[in-house]
Structure formats: C-alpha cells, structure tokens
C-alpha cells in the first residue's frame, strides 16, 4: 500500500473521529443555541462520514466482514467488470481505427534517421558491424556452395550459342585488326626462319628431292637434268630462299596489292566464322564434351576459400571502417532518406496489417493478465491506484455533512422562533 494512500486513509479516519468526538462532547451541553448548532453539525458529519465509509468499503469488500447484500461489489462482479474493461480498451481506447489513424500522422523516417546517424558514429556500433561482417564471411560453407556454383556454371555455359559466340569473336578480331596483326606475325616468323643459317640447305635438299621425283619426257626431261647438273642443293636453296624473302618483304609493305588481297581474304574468313556450319557443329560438340568431362569442384572450392580469406583480410584492415564501411553506410543512408515517403508508407502499412491481424490480442493480453491475479491482489492494486481519491470522498462526506448539519440545525432553530 502506498504512502499517499495511507495518508489519505489516516485523514479520513481522523475526520470521522473528530465528528464522532464532537458529537459526544456536545451532548452534556445541550440546550444552548451554539452548542445545539455544533452538535447538529457533528451529528450530520458523523452520519455523512460513516455513510461514505460504508460506500467506499462496499466497493472492495464486506464492511466489518458482514456479508451485507450489494457489498464487495468489485470481487462479486469481477468477470463483468474485467469484460467491460477489456471491451472498452479494445473498442474505444485502443480500437483498430484509432491506432491506424494515429499511425498515419507519425513520420517514422524523421524519427529513425537521426537515431541511425547518431548510432553509426559510435565506435561500438562500427566494431559490431565489422564483427557481424566477419561472422557472415566465416559462415559461408564452401562445401555446400561449390556444387551450387558448379551447377550454375555448367548450366550457363551449356546455354551459350556457339554461332553467337563466334560472331562476337569475329567482330572483336576485326575491331582489334587481327587480320593485319596475324599476317604480320606470320611474315615475321617466315622472315626469321628464312634468315636462319640452315634454311638454305634445307630448302635446297627438299627442292632437289622434289625435282628427282618429277617424271617428264623428251626435252623437258633433258632441261630438268641440265638444271640438276648445273645447280647444287646449296645454290638451289639460296635461290629459293632469296625468292621467298623477296615475297615476304613485298607482303610487309602496306601498299602492296598482294598484301591487301591477303588481308581481304583473312577478313572474309573471319567474318564467315558464324556462318561456317562445320566449324559451329565442331565447336558445339567440343563444348558439350568439355562440360561433360569438366570437374571444377576442387578449383571452385579453392577459389572460394581464397575469396573468404581475402574478404576477412579486407574487413580486418585498419582502414576498412574509415575508407569503405562508413562511406558506404552514409551513402546507403542518403539513398534511404531520398525514399523517406516510401519508407513511411511501408512502415505504416506493416503496422496496419499487424494491428488488423493481432488487434484481438490486445484484449486477450489484458484479460490473461487480469485472470492471473486473485481477488485480493486485484483489489489491492485498484486501492493503490484509486483508493487515495476514494478516501477523500469520506473526508468530503464528513465535512459536507458537518456544514449541512449546521445549516439544518440553524434553520430548525429559527423555525421555532416563529
């Protein structure tokens, strides 16, 4: 029981004792106007105080323990009172409409963003966020993730159309001038090979062997034998080498017609990659065979482990918070601020749905908590909260009774004079 309630009950008791004591004290002095006037006031005050005491007490318990009808009103009507309280709470004070209407006027983003801005500046928050990121990275299960990645890789690669891929490759090759570069590369390799010391001998040997295999009759056979007798393998090789070097040298010149013709031919072949059905079918077959025999599991696992480790090292770096985390947090916060109306609308909608689905739980929760209390505890709680004001009813009853008693006694005394 609270101190204030004790004080108010004490005052009420004192007021009743004063009225009773005053009434008794004036009995021996009856007969004079002023004493009769006071006695009438004390009498009425005593009656008013006792009546109000009875009324206040009857709300919570039986006065003096006597089971008088229509007393102990709260315990006897507990279920009806709690039902009325729950109904009033659900339908009037905290109705769905009133809650939803109140929510509409709340600017959640204006209240949330300042709090978030303040919190992200705290060192504890920043360290906590870093720790959460580290836990998320460590939580990644490479063994479970690798098969999923493998499946997605194979699925995506199997959908690649080789015709389109070859078309992209051909466009890329031409944009990078692969036709000219490839020809220049081959010419340089040929020039390098031709300038080698052993090249003349090899060319001469090969050429002489080919001449020996040629079968002709008549004058052509005579001419061929004459050439073979005049030229040695070394001389023949040198002639062929010089001839080839001359051809290579001419093809290296930009204005040379034969070079331009070769480049046009190479360009035509490159542009026709996506139209070469044999090449496309071969590429598709190679792709399917490759994917059927491809076992990238261990490679994927190793790559994921490396990524995890790099991620941890990145997050644990001294400059991570200032250089990466905080700028990212502020950027995200600025983006969210630009969508404050959408955020407020979403929050209000979620609250409305929550209230709609769970509004009945408000009354149920109050009902459950009330049902847990026995009568004595419930009455004690009510007395602690409203008992102080009820005790003042007793004081007011005694005081008002005293004043009314004086007035009535005075009126009665005046009436006897006439």
* Same structural domain, 275 and 384: no
pLDDT tens profile 206-253? 777 776 666 655 566 656 666 666 667 777 778 888 888 898 899 888
| Residue 1 confidence (pLDDT) above 50 | no
Mean pLDDT of 4-27: 73
- Residue 175: domain span: 162-290
Residue among 390, 417, 292 nearest 58 (CA)? 390
> What number is the average pLDDT over the span 390-415?
71
pLDDT at 321 over 80: yes
Same domain for 168 and 286, yes or no, is yes
Predicted pLDDT at 235: 79
Q: Which of 265, 290, 315 is the last residue of a domain?
A: 290
pLDDT for 304 equals 92
CA dist 158 → 66, 155, 287, 333 (Å): 93, 5, 8, 41
In SS3 terms, the chain reads as CCHHHHHHHHHHHHHHHHHHHHHHHHHHHCCCHHHHHHHHHHHHHHHHHHHHHHHHHHHHCCHHHCCCCCCCHHHHCHHHHHHHHHHHHHHHHCCHHHHHHHHHCCCHHHHHHHHHHHHHCCHHHHHHHHHHHHHHHHHCCHHHHHHHHHHHHHHHHHCCCHHHHHHHHHHHHHHCCHHHHHHHHHHHHHHHHHCCCCHHHHHHHHHHHHHHHCCCCCHHHHHHHHHHHHCCHHHHHHHHHHHHHHHHHHHCCCCCHHHHHHHHHHHHHHHCHHHCHHHHHHHHHHHHHHHHHCCCHHHHHHHHHHHHHHHHHHHHCCCHHHHHHHHHHHHHHHHHHCCHHHHHHHHHHHHHHHHHHHHHHHHHHHHHHHHCCCHHHHHHHHHHHHHHHHHHHHHHHHHHHHHHHHHHHHHHHHHHHC
The rounded mean pLDDT for the chain is 79
pLDDT category of residue 402 using cuts at 50, 70 and 90: confident
Query: What value, to the nearest 5°, has the Cα angle with vertex 67 and ends 8 and 385?
Result: 30
**Is residue 12's pLDDT more than 60?**
yes
Does 357 fall in a domain? no
Section 93-120 average pLDDT: 79
For residues 286 and 377, state if they share a domain.
Answer: no
Domains of the chain: total: 2
Out of 21-30, 313-322, 351-360, the most confident range is 313-322
- The interaxial angle of helices 123-139 and 297-316, nearest 10 deg, is 170
Please say which residue of 270, 290, 310 terminates a domain: 290
Which has the higher per-residue pLDDT, 199 or 402?
199
Structural domain includes residue 23: yes
* pLDDT-wise least confident of 317-321, 350-354, 399-403: 399-403
pLDDT digits (tens, 9 = 90+) for 17-57: 887 787 788 877 777 777 777 877 777 777 877 777 667 66
What is the pTM (predicted TM-score) of this model? 0.50
Q: Are residues 261 and 169 in the same domain?
A: yes
pLDDT > 70? residue 382: no
Could you report the per-residue pLDDT of 273-308, keeping only the tens digit for each?
888 888 889 989 998 999 888 888 999 999 999 999
Q: Is residue 177 part of a domain?
A: yes
Question: What is the distance between the alpha carbons of residues 15 and 9, in angstroms, rounded to a whole number?
Answer: 10
**pLDDT at residue 363 greater than cutoff 70:** no
Whether 377 and 284 map to the same domain: the answer is: no
Instruction: Check whether 3 has a pLDDT greater than 60.
Output: no
Per-residue pLDDT at 81 exceeds 50: yes
The residue count of the chain comes to: 418
Question: By percentage, how much of the chain surpasses pLDDT 90?
Answer: 12
Name the token pair of 108: 């959640």
Evaluate whether residue 267 is within a structural domain: yes
Give the list of residues 6+ apart from residue 308 with CB closer than 8 angstroms, or none: 137, 138, 140, 142
State the pLDDT at residue 228. 61
Structure tokens that stand for 414 in this block: 């005046």
Mean pLDDT value across residues 102-121:
85
Q: Which pLDDT band, with edges at 50, 70 and 90, does 136 fall under?
A: very high
- Per-residue pLDDT averaged across 317-327, rounded? 90
Is 104 among the domain residues?
Answer: no
* Last residue in a domain, options 290, 306, 338: 290
Residues 377 and 278 in one domain: no
* Closest residue by Cα to residue 354 from 85, 87, 103: 103
Domain assignment of residue 296, yes or no: no
- How does pLDDT run across 64-80, given as a tens digit for each residue? 666 777 666 666 666 77
| 174 and 280 assigned to the same domain | yes
Grade residue 309 by pLDDT with cuts at 50, 70 and 90.
very high
Q: Is residue 30 part of a domain?
A: yes
Each residue of 254-266: pLDDT tens digit? 888 998 999 999 8
Q: Over pLDDT 70: what percentage of the chain?
A: 73
Measured at the alpha carbon of residue 189, what is the angle toward residues 185 and 193, in degrees to the nearest 5? Answer: 170
Residue 390 counted as domain residue: yes
Confidence of residue 310 (pLDDT cuts 50, 70, 90): very high
Positive/negative CA dihedral, 166, 168, 171, 177: negative
């Amino acid at each position: 029981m609270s101190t204030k309630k004790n004080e108010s009950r004490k005052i009420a008791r004192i007021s009743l004792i004063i009225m009773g004591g005053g009434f008794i004290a004036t009995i021996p002095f009856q007969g004079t106007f002023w004493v009769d006037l006071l006695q009438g006031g004390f009498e009425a005050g005593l009656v008013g105080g006792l009546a109000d005491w009875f009324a206040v007490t009857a709300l919570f318990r039986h006065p003096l323990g006597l089971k008088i009808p229509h007393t102990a009103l709260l315990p006897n009507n507990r279920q009806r009172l709690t039902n009325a309280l729950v109904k009033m709470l659900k339908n009037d004070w905290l109705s769905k409409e009133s809650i939803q209407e109140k929510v509409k006027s709340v600017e959640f983003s204006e209240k949330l963003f300042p709090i978030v801005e303040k919190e992200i500046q705290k060192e504890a928050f920043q360290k906590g966020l870093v720790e959460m990121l580290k836990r998320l990275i460590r939580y990644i299960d490479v063994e479970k993730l690798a098969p999923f990645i493998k499946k997605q890789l194979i699925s995506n690669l199997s959908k690649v159309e080789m015709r389109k891929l070859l078309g992209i490759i051909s466009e890329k090759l031409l944009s990078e001038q692969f036709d000219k570069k490839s020809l220049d590369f081959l010419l340089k390799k040929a020039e390098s090979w031709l300038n080698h010391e052993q090249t003349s001998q090899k060319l001469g040997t090969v050429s002489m062997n080919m001449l020996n295999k040629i079968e002709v009759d008549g004058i052509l056979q005579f001419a061929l034998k004459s050439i073979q007798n005049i030229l040695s393998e070394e001389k023949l090789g040198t002639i062929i080498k010089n001839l080839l070097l001359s051809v290579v040298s001419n093809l290296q010149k930009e204005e040379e017609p034969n070079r331009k013709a070769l480049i046009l031919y190479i360009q035509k072949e490159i542009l026709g990659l996506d139209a070469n059905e044999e090449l496309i079918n071969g590429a598709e077959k190679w792709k399917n065979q490759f994917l059927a025999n491809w076992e990238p599991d261990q490679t994927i696992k190793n790559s994921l482990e490396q990524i995890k480790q790099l991620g941890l090292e990145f997050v644990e770096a001294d400059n991570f918070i200032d250089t990466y985390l905080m700028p990212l947090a502020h950027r995200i916060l600025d983006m969210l601020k630009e969508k404050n109306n959408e955020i407020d609308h979403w929050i209000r909608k979620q609250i409305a749905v929550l209230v709609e689905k769970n509004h009945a739980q408000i009354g149920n929760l109050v009902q459950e908590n009330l049902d847990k209390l026995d009568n004595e505890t419930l009455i004690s709680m009510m007395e602690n909260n409203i008992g102080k004001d009820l005790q003042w009813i007793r004081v007011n009853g005694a005081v008002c009774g005293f004043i009314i008693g004086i007035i009535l006694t005075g009126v009665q005394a005046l009436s006897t004079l006439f």
